[in-house]
């Protein structure tokens, strides 16, 4: 629908009483509900956007319903052990995700998120991104899918999971309904993990080209989050919330630097981009508390091709418009609207997000940076054996360690936990007896190595802890191969998937071999 100031003003005036009531309700956290899994009517983000005259035309979340009346599917997971799929829904109308259903279905194996369902009723679901101008890493050029348990979170007091985007991972829908095209007005927000980002191109959520290629300036409009400085950037070292408008990440009216776009690092971040004829804005805030700040609001960029816009109406998550997929980030929820939302509507949505109470989970297994630990195998064959480096060739393996072992063996089986070298939301393991050398994978084998500043080596040395696949200890997911976990196999150590082309991917005992007990350090 073409933008009409008269129509928009009329819609806004008709919606003001409802919006005022919704805002007041959101600020107070909503009236009490008889069902603790559900929200009060009219208080959730898409209710608020509708009250403001700018209804949602896409609504994606793996953590909760975004309409107070929605009780359907949120996302789908696929199990590695047998390829079976299961839809994960809300616990009731306006409710939180049924994470228990995922945990039960994926017990003893790993799962991937195959679909993020659209709650708007328009069928704008997100699935595995196909190859584009920038080809993908998986078979046939398709992007990877997110490991389903990689981003645990608590929302509304309930366990849930976000969408963990490692480099090479991406979702897309090139055949949408109701998404803005050309210069039509739209808005969008995304709740992201402000600690999970990189300088790759491009961690986006929003409007993109329908052929997965770069079709020129102004052919996309999406929220971007990260610290790349190739195009626009803001103050400090990043990360920044910017707008990806194709062939440019913009932080303001001019290409390049915008002093009003600050670095932001909230653990849970609300990021907003909206655009209409001759105008656009960036807004952001702490998703756990407080309001929104406006980092830019004004005319379209001072560069050719962005006024008027030529948006095409596809939807992307975790990638750029041409399928550039070198980025990292975590997505919890987001929507796209028809029409240019008012600041008042967005403020009401932010108040609801604050009231929900996004909370990070406690570190798994005591793997906090600075801790000294040893990692014991839990498979029945090997419960006296520990992950260690081999003093002869630097390869990692498991072997027996006890109080009678030599000091050299004890030192080789002791690790210092560090913030992840390639992703601060995960961890790296520095050798206790060989300072500045870290556990990393190389050609799937684990080894001890000195890590340089290359992105690849730092990602190879980063592992993301989660609850053990057998229900005991921890499992350590590779940060850049999200379907692979640290595993011992015939006493050597690898990163391995549950079933695959390598011998160490064997399904037998995979859950046991990828579960590790975190113990007191041997040295």
% of the chain exceeding 90 in pLDDT: 85
Query: What is the pLDDT, as a whole number, of residue 266?
Result: 97
DSSP 205: E
Whether 497 and 503 have beta carbons less than 8 Å apart is answered as no
Domain 364-519 has CATH 2.160.20.60: no
Structure tokens at 304: 């050719």
User: Phi and psi dihedrals of 263, rounded to 5?
Assistant: -65, 140
Per-residue b/e over 300-336, b at no fewer than 16 CB within 10 Å? bbebebbbebbbbbbbbbbbbbbbbbbbbbbbbbbbb
Q: Is the pLDDT of residue 105 over 50?
A: yes
Q: Residue 500's Cα: distance from chain center in Å?
A: 25
User: How many Cβ atoms are within 10 Å of 10's Cβ, its own excluded?
Assistant: 12
Would you place residue 80 in the very low, low, confident or very high pLDDT band (cuts 50, 70, 90)?
very high
The predicted-structure confidence for 262-312, as pLDDT tens digits, reads as follows 999 999 999 999 999 999 999 999 999 999 999 999 999 999 999 999 999
- 368-373: Cβ within 8 A, 24+ apart: 368/417, 369/417, 369/418, 369/419, 369/427, 370/416, 370/417, 370/418, 371/416, 371/417, 372/414, 372/415, 372/416, 372/417, 372/432, 372/521, 372/523, 373/414, 373/415, 373/417, 373/518, 373/519, 373/520, 373/521
DSSP 230: S
The predicted-structure confidence for 398-422, as pLDDT tens digits, reads as follows 999 999 999 999 999 999 999 999 8
Average pLDDT score over residue span 62-89: 97
Query: What is the pLDDT, as a whole number, of residue 20?
Result: 44
Whether 437 and 431 have beta carbons less than 8 Å apart is answered as yes
Query: What is the pLDDT, as a whole number, of residue 41?
Result: 66
User: How many Cβ atoms are within 10 Å of 40's Cβ, its own excluded?
Assistant: 16
Cα–Cα distance for residue pair 375/414, rounded to 1 Å = 8
Domain with CATH 2.80.10.50 in the chain: 364-519
Comparing 361 with 224, which gets the higher pLDDT? 224
The predicted-structure confidence for 11-58, as pLDDT tens digits, reads as follows 333 333 444 444 444 433 443 344 667 766 679 999 999 999 999 999
Q: Is the pLDDT of residue 2 over 70?
A: no
Query: What is the pLDDT, as a whole number, of residue 295?
Result: 98
Query: What is the pLDDT, as a whole number, of residue 138?
Result: 65
Cα–Cα distance for residue pair 479/498, rounded to 1 Å = 16
Q: Is the pLDDT of residue 135 over 90?
A: no
The predicted-structure confidence for 338-371, as pLDDT tens digits, reads as follows 999 999 999 999 999 999 999 998 888 889 999 9
Average pLDDT score over residue span 418-440: 93
Partner residues linked to 430 by β-bridges: 416, 438
Which of 473, 518, 514 shows the shortest CA–CA distance to 496?
Answer: 514
The predicted-structure confidence for 238-264, as pLDDT tens digits, reads as follows 999 999 999 999 999 999 999 999 999
**How many Cα atoms occupy the beta-carbon half-sphere of 129 within 13 Å?**
38
Which of 352, 396, 351 shows the shortest CA–CA distance to 495?
Answer: 396
Residues marked active site are found at 246, 322
User: How many Cβ atoms are within 10 Å of 253's Cβ, its own excluded?
Assistant: 15
Query: What is the pLDDT, as a whole number, of residue 12?
Result: 35
Average pLDDT score over residue span 464-479: 93
The predicted-structure confidence for 490-521, as pLDDT tens digits, reads as follows 999 999 999 989 999 999 999 999 999 999 99
Query: What is the pLDDT, as a whole number, of residue 391?
Result: 77
DSSP 256: S
Query: What is the pLDDT, as a whole number, of residue 139?
Result: 60
Q: Is the pLDDT of residue 6 over 80?
A: no
Query: What is the pLDDT, as a whole number, of residue 504?
Result: 97
Structure tokens at 309: 């816009």
**In this structure, which topology does domain 5-356 adopt according to CATH?**
Jelly Rolls (2.60.120)
- Strand locations in 420-506, DSSP E? 427-431, 437-442, 445-450, 463-467, 474-478, 485-489, 492-496
Average pLDDT score over residue span 383-395: 92
% of the chain exceeding 70 in pLDDT: 91
Range of lowest pLDDT (57-61, 414-418, 454-458): 454-458
Domain with CATH 2.60.120.200 in the chain: 5-356
The CA angle 265-201-152, to the nearest 5 degrees, is 50
Whether 124 and 58 have beta carbons less than 8 Å apart is answered as yes
């Amino acid at each position: 629908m073409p933008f009409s100031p008269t129509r928009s003003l009329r819609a806004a005036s008709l919606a003001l009483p409802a919006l005022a009531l919704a805002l007041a309700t959101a600020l107070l956290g909503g009236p009490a509900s008889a069902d603790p899994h559900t929200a009060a009517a009219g208080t959730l983000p898409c209710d608020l956007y509708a009250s403001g005259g700018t209804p949602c035309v896409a609504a994606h979340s793996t953590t909760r319903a975004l309409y107070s009346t929605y009780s359907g599917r949120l996302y789908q997971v696929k199990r590695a052990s047998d390829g079976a799929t299961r839809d994960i829904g809300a616990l009731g109308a306006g409710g939180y995700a049924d994470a228990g259903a995922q945990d039960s279905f994926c017990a003893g194996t790993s799962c991937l998120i195959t679909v993020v369902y659209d709650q708007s009723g328009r069928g704008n679901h997100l699935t595995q991104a196909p190859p584009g101008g920038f080809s993908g890493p998986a078979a046939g050029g398709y992007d990877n899918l997110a490991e389903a348990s990689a981003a645990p979170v608590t929302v509304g007091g309930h366990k849930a999971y976000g969408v963990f985007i490692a480099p090479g991972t991406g979702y897309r829908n090139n055949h949408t309904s109701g998404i803005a095209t050309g210069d039509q007005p739209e808005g969008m927000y995304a709740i992201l993990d402000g600690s999970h980002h990189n300088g790759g191109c491009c961690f986006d959520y929003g409007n993109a080209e329908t052929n997965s290629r770069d079709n020129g300036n102004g052919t996309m409009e999406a929220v971007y989050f990260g610290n790349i400085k190739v195009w626009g950037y803001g103050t400090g070292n990043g990360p920044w919330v910017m707008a990806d408008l194709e062939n440019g990440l913009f932080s303001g009216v001019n290409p390049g630097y915008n002093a009003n776009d600050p670095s932001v690092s909230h653990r849970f971040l609300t990021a907003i981009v909206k655009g209409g004829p001759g105008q656009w804005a960036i807004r952001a805030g702490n998703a756990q508390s407080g309001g929104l700040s406006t980092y830019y609001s004004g005319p379209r960029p001072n560069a050719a091709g962005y006024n008027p816009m030529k948006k095409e109406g596809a939807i992307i998550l975790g990638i750029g418009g041409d399928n550039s997929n070198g980025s990292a980030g975590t997505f919890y929820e987001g929507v796209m609207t028809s029409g240019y939302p008012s600041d008042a509507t967005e403020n009401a949505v932010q108040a609801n997000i604050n009231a929900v109470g996004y909370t990070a989970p406690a570190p798994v297994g005591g793997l906090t940076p600075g801790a000294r630990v040893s990692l014991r195998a839990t498979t029945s064959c090997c419960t006296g054996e520990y992950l260690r480096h081999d003093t002869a060739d630097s390869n990692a393996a498991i072997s027996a360690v006890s109080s009678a072992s030599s000091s050299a063996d004890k030192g080789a089986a002791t690790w210092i936990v560090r913030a992840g070298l390639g992703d601060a939301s995960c961890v790296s393991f520095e050798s206790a007896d060989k300072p500045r050398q870290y556990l990393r994978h190389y050609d799937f084998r684990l080894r001890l190595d000195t890590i340089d500043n290359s992105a690849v080596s730092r990602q190879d040395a980063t592992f993301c802890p989660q609850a053990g696949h057998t229900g005991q200890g921890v499992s350590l997911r590779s940060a850049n191969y999200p379907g692979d976990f640290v595993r011992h196999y015939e006493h050597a150590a690898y990163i391995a998937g549950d079933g695959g082309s390598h011998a160490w991917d064997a399904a037998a005992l995979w859950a046991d071999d990828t579960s590790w007990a975190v113990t007191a350090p041997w040295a």
